[in-house]
Structure 1
Amino acid sequence: MSRIPRIVILGAGYGGIVTAIRLQKHLNYNEADVTLVNKHDYHYITTHLHMPAAGTDNPENSRVNISRLIDEFKVDFVKSTVMQIKPIEKKIILEDSTLSYDYLVVGLGGEPETFGIPGLQEHAMNIRSINSVRLIREHIEYQFAKYKGEPDRLDYLTFIVGGAGFTGIEFVGELADRIPNLCKKYDVDQKLVKIFSIEAAPNAMPGFDPELVEYATNVLTNKGVVFKLGTAIKECTAAGVELATGEFVKTTTVIWTGGIRGNHMLDQAGFATMRGRVKVDSFLRTTEYENVYVVGDCSIVMNPEGKPYPPSGQIATQQGETCAYNLIAAIRNTPPKEFKYINKGTVASLGKREAVGMVGTRKVKGNKAALLKKLVDMRYLYIIGGIPLVIRKGRF
């Protein structure tokens, strides 16, 4: 009797969790041994993290226990940190054990891309996990408390967000909504609070529809956000940031949302990477190993024009579906299918009851777009957990 093939999935982000859910749905019992490895016992909704980071929602609303999503009779869950990937030996080194595999799915998520800017890694915070947003949330409020004891320190009330892509724009929208509440709570004059959105590109939300970008920047400007576009951050220090223009902005709070790169373990494992990300083939496999698949922020998928798609939760979710299909095809010796990304619309929230989005060629903005954003979030909840999860978490 032949041995049951072993599938190991690293990371329970969008790509990894959807791969696991699809495998447990379509694999027969004892057809494969599937193991999901994640350093936390929960999956978090990355596209929702800007809200708890700013303090406009509870971090608990952004996470879902993995035990509620997987069938323990079909998927083994291992809570551990991945230390090393050894593709030649087909082994994964964890902090407390070693796993062997026949097929590997790497969905470990990305890491902040600092572009070599001095001081960013040491002095800036990132919206990347439940723990990181808790830190940002508490840090922001602490600055107001500190200002009351040192009223000459206006740098406590100055908040810099580096990067005006989707994450940066969504975060400043929520932060601008929270500021009035913090000012009231700590009896601080709101006119003293400054929120800067700094972007090296000439426009916010690079690559997005210009009309919607203009609408978004107008909404946020009216909320008090100051944009510095076409302005790169030259250096980040404990005292603030130096801009390429020579200006120095004093602040105790820098939130960096200027980009991500792939996980460093892919480089260490010897995969060919670009900014830490692996350019996968049409079946989501690495060029070096047909039994290794890469999904989510760690992968590069090219669009029809030959340019990489920007990493997103939508792409990772669709990758997870295709990856599971191809794993089953490999086990059953049936033809795999190529990954084809279908853009089902893009929406960016701008705070309470405001958003901008594109659905096909249709532009949406304002309250309609904000409603669409909620529908997009609920659709993902339905994909991973069905109606019960939508009912529990759908309020965000």
Structure 2
Amino acid sequence: MGNPKRIVILGAGYGGLAAALRLQKKLRRGEAEVTLVNKHDYHTLTTHLHKSAAGTDHPDNARVDLKEMLNSRRTRLLKAEVQRLEPTERKVVTDRGVLRYDYLIAGLGSEPEMFGIPGLKEHALTIRSTNSVRLIRQHIRYMLAKYKTQPKRLDYLTFVVGGAGFTGTEFAGELADKMPELCRLFDVDPSLVRICSIEAGAAPLPPGMPRELVRYGMEKLTAKGVSFKLTTSIRECTPEGVRLSDGEFIPAGTVIWAAGVRGNRLLEEAGFETARGRVAVDPCLRSRQHREVFIVGDSALVLGPSGTPYPPTAQIAVQQGRYAADSLLAQLHGRRLPPFRYDHRGTVATLGRAEAIGVVGGRAVTGLLAYVLKLLADAGYLFTIGGLPLVLRKTVFRRS
């Protein structure tokens, strides 16, 4: 059979983990050595982080131990941080040493896109990781406690959410649900709290969401106390608040930035052709410059039938990870796969407790039904990566 091929997977996000699980299931014994590199020893359920940030869920519920899912005899887990890629030399430099590869699957994820807005990087908080959401939830409580010492400072009770896409909208809904409890805890008048969603587009939620669902979602969130400023962008963020494109300045003690992501800069710095950090891949999800490199997840620029890029979501990342693994296996065995085709299975956005909107099976759904469908989809994903024990641990026996 010859020497086993060296396969390196970068990142244990939705795409990287899906690729690793697929490979350890389908690779023949002795055919390849697979190394999964991740800076943490856990997989993060990033689509759950908005709840942890708002305080409606425990941060640990968004973490899954990688050792529970990986077969150590088939996949080596290396807890390390990638420092740079050298694709012409087929090597990856990490803080734990250098890895050489025959095939690379890069699922390095994304980073916040600040669009050059002054002060945003320094003064805004982002929903990125379990540590970042711990900071946000503690900061929110700190602001309420701080207000009690300076009751004239209403800016301490003002929470600005930059961006009304999925993350921003879902976070605003969770925070609105949590705020009455926090106000009781800190003895704060709830009517003084302001949650303001700032969106540069004409409507919240991603483009393409049916108009009636957007209207329903805005009505539900407005009833919870969320206010919207649409067709308005943040032009500057300061320690005192945000200045908007219409000239208004909103004094705010808390600014959460959720208005966009870009691909990981490591790929750009390595010389891959990118657009906002996302690598344009061929129909088999390979780099056009380095055919032994597959790009999956938020850093992959994949065009849909209309010629526009698919948005970076967990759903497409999982499908890309599985396809990249299958495509790599096909190359090893001298076969070719048909081009990657995204199977869009529906979209659901939560609006807080027991409320959601979405399109599933081509049908618009709202309210409790949409919320239950979202829970079922989440449970389905947990089942695919960890079986029934993981589903039970993260649903029935979850930390409160």
Pick the TM interval, shorter chain. Answer: over 0.9
Q: Which residue in the other structure is 2:332 paired with?
A: 331
1:332 offset after TM fit, Å?
1.6
Determine helix, strand or coil for the equivalent of 2:88.
coil
TM-score (norm 2): 0.98
* Matching residue of 2:341: 340
Task: Confirm or deny that 1:258 pairs with 2:259.
Answer: yes
| TM-aligned CA deviation for residue 336 of structure 1 | 2.6
State the one-letter code of the partner of 1:24.
Answer: Q
Within a 5 Å distance, the mapping from 1:1-396 to structure 2 comes to 2-207=2-207, 208-395=209-396
| Aligned residue identity for 1:238 | P
State the shift of 1:119 in Å. Answer: 1.0
Partner Cα distance (1:327, 1:394) in 2:
34
SS at 2:335 equivalent: coil
Preserved contact between residue 164 and residue 199 of structure 1 (Cα < 8 Å) = yes
SS in 1 for 2:329: helix
Equivalent AA in structure 2 for residue 278 of structure 1: V
Paired amino acid for 2:190: Q
Q: CA RMSD in A?
A: 0.9
**Preserved CA contact (<8 Å) 1:112 1:261:** yes
Provide the rounded CA distance (Å) in 2 between the counterparts of 1:137 and 1:229: 26
Q: Is the 8 A contact 2:346 2:362 kept in 1?
A: no
Shift of residue 337 of structure 1?
Answer: 3.2
Alpha-carbon shift at residue 338 of structure 1 (Å): 1.6
* Pairwise CA distance, 1:111: 0.4
Q: Compute the displacement of 1:301 (Å).
A: 0.9
Gaps of 5+ in 1: none
Residue type of the partner of 1:251?
A: A
Give secondary structure in 2 for the equivalent of 1:335. coil
1:43-64, Cα deviation, whole Å (9 max, x unpaired): 0111111100100000011110
Which secondary structure state, in structure 2, belongs to the residue aligned with residue 211 of structure 1?
helix
Runs of 4+ more than 4 Å apart: none
Query: Alpha-carbon deviations, 1:82-139, whole Å to 9, x = none?
Result: 0000000001000120100000011011000111111111111111111111111111
CA contact (8 A) 1:41 1:65 kept: yes
The CA distance in 2 between the partners of 1:210 and 1:115, in whole Å, is 27
One-letter amino acid of the structure 2 residue matched with residue 363 of structure 1:
A
Secondary structure of 1:201 counterpart: coil
- CA shift, 1:209, in A, is 1.1
How many residue pairs get aligned? The number is: 396
CA distance in 2 between partners of 1:106 and 1:170 (Å): 28
Question: Once the 2 structures are TM-superposed, how far is the Cα of residue 376 of structure 1 from its aligned partner?
Answer: 0.8
SS of corresponding position for 1:84: strand
- CA distance in 2: counterparts of 1:142 and 1:383, whole angstroms: 39
Q: Conserved in 1, the CA contact under 8 Å of 2:10 and 2:38?
A: yes
1:367-394 Cα offsets, whole Å, 9 max, x none, are 0000011011011101111222111113
Identity of aligned residues (%): 55
State the distance in 2 between where 1:388 and 1:29 align: 27
Deviations 1:253-272 (A, max 9, x none): 10000010000001100000
CA distance in 2, matches of 1:336, 1:89: 27
Q: Which runs of 5+ in 2 are unaligned?
A: none
Q: Secondary structure at the match of 1:283?
A: coil
Q: CA offset at residue 2 of structure 1?
A: 2.1
